[in-house]
Structure 1
Amino acid sequence: MSQVEGVRITGPVQGRHADLLTPEAVKFLAV
């Protein structure tokens, strides 16, 4: 997954689930 795709996914996710967006979750999404 490219960084751009990651940003498109994590952008909306951060808005609704910022409390769930832990470093581990970021690593999982970045894979």
Structure 2
Amino acid sequence: VMRVPLEGGGRLVIEMNAQEAAELGGLLQAV
């Protein structure tokens, strides 16, 4: 499980597994 701080000073944190992290990484790179 990864904890990734989002925008907003890192106060909001989402948890995701490795597969979700990889998919999110792909989306970020596509932008």
- What TM-score do the two structures reach when normalised by structure 2? 0.38
**The structure with more radius of gyration:** 2
Question: Looking at both structures, which has the greater relative contact order when contacts are Cα pairs under 8 Å and sequence separation is at least 6?
Answer: 1
- Relative to total residues, which structure has the larger strand share, 1 or 2? 2
- Relative to total residues, which structure has the larger helix share, 1 or 2? 1
